[in-house]
Amino acid sequence: MFLFLILGLLIGALTVIFALQNMISVSLNFLVWQIEGSLALILILALIAGFLVSVLLSIPEIVKTRTEFAQLKKRNKQLEDENANFHKALIDGTLIQNPPLI
């Protein structure tokens, strides 16, 4: 936890230094919009936009992985129940000679 605090402070300090060294005003044109601001602000906004795009593009994979995980948990529970029933039948002596294969 302490390491993350130090890392956060270091990143914050580097961001402040970056912003102070890049105070030049720039003009940004995008389609019909024109935005003027400091170079540091424009670059940080572009970085945030890139981060948001990467998060949005990874959402389908996250949903797929969680769905597969839930299905695997359900299948694992079924197999544990079958295993428990098998052991119970083995102990009771009522085990079927040729159990059906799944």
Number of domains in the chain: 1
What is the structure's pLDDT at 69? Answer: 96
43 or 100, greater pLDDT: 43
28 neighbors 12 (Cβ within 8 angstroms): no
Q: Which residue range forms the structural domain that includes residue 24?
A: 2-92
State yes or no: pLDDT of 75 exceeds 90.
yes
Give 77's pLDDT tier (boundaries 50, 70, 90): very high
Whether 102 is covered by a domain: the verdict is: no
For residues 52 and 44, the answer to whether their CB atoms sit within 8 Å is no
In a domain, 73, yes or no: yes
* Three-class DSSP category at 1: coil
Tokens for 16, please give them.
């402040």
Indicate the SS3 state at residue 22: coil
**Structural domain contains residue 37:** yes
44 vs 80: CA distance, rounded Å: 51
Rounded Cα–Cα distance for residues 82 and 39 (Å): 64
Q: Global pTM?
A: 0.55
* 61 in a structural domain: yes
Asked if the structure places residue 97 within a domain, the reply is no
Distance, in Å, from the CA atom of 76 to the CA atom of 94, rounded to the nearest integer, reads 24
